[in-house]
Amino acid sequence: MGNPTIILASGSAIRADILRSAGVPFEIIKPETDETVIKRAAKDDSAGLEETAMMLAEAKCLNVARQLKADKTDAIVIGSDQIMEFEGRGFDKPANMGEARSRLKTLQGATHSLINAIAVARHGSVIWRNIARPKLTMRPMSDTEIDAYLNAASADILYTVGAYQVEKLGARLFERIEGDYFAVLGLTLYPLLDLLRSEGALEF
């Protein structure tokens, strides 16, 4: 019997790049989940930010796991979500470049956290969960520097909760990062690799 199929329940290019760079064989199936509904339910239940992120990750992996045909029910399905926390508040992705500028002005010279939740489903149930919470300290910046960054960066930053990509030009915005670098990118890698090995999906 061969190794189980690994499925990434995400349309995120950077999450796919992380797995690909680590030599993990996987397929991509985008989940059909309404994040707005899940976040509203989390708010109604007075869920914290970590719990909300995990609810989203679980919904994504379970949605895909339940779509699988009979020959793939043994697949390992990875769902992930990320929420930015600053001064006790949660932040979603900026809607436009104006909101991105405002986000960077708020974060400059301060420390914020990125909550990365991963849930893994197999046989229709969640078998593993992981939360990582790296801290990022952005250097003080003038409005001119922020505008220069936004002019140089692509609109891809609108797909990130902090309005930056630390793997690209966004690295120049920071003084330091504490915690898992891959969690900053959106997929905590080392614990996930350990899980994939334990489930027989990777040989090493």
Q: What pLDDT, on a 0 to 100 scale, did the predictor assign at position 17?
A: 97
Judge contact between 112 and 176, C-beta under 8 A. no
Task: Flag whether 164 is in a domain.
Answer: yes
Has residue 204 been placed in a domain? no
Question: What is the pLDDT, as a whole number, of residue 42?
Answer: 93
Q: Are 106 and 143 in contact (CB under 8 A)?
A: no
User: What was the pLDDT predicted at 38?
Assistant: 94
Helix (H, G, I), strand (E, B) or coil at 88: coil
Specify the amino acid at residue 14: I
Residue 112, both tokens: 């914020």
User: Does residue 180 form part of some domain?
Assistant: yes
Query: Structural domain tally of the chain?
Result: 1
* pLDDT tens-place values along the chain, 204 residues long: 578 999 999 999 999 999 999 999 999 999 999 999 999 999 999 999 999 999 999 999 999 999 998 778 899 999 999 999 999 999 989 999 999 999 999 999 999 999 999 999 999 999 999 999 999 999 999 999 999 999 999 899 999 999 999 999 999 999 999 999 999 999 999 999 999 999 999 999
Res 79: pLDDT: 98
Strands (E), the chain: 6-8, 27-28, 76-86, 89-91, 111-122, 125-132, 135-138, 174-178
For residue 1, what pLDDT is reported? 55
Q: Domain limits at 148?
A: 6-198
Structure tokens that stand for 4 in this block: 């189980």
Q: Does some domain include residue 1? A: no
- For residue 77, the domain's CATH number is 3.90.950.10
What pLDDT does residue 2 have?
A: 74
Distance separating alpha carbons of residues 81 and 55, to the nearest angstrom? 9
Q: Which residues contact 98 (CB under 8 A, 6 or more apart)?
A: none
For residue 203, tell me if it sits in a domain: no
**Catalytic residue positions, numbered:** 81
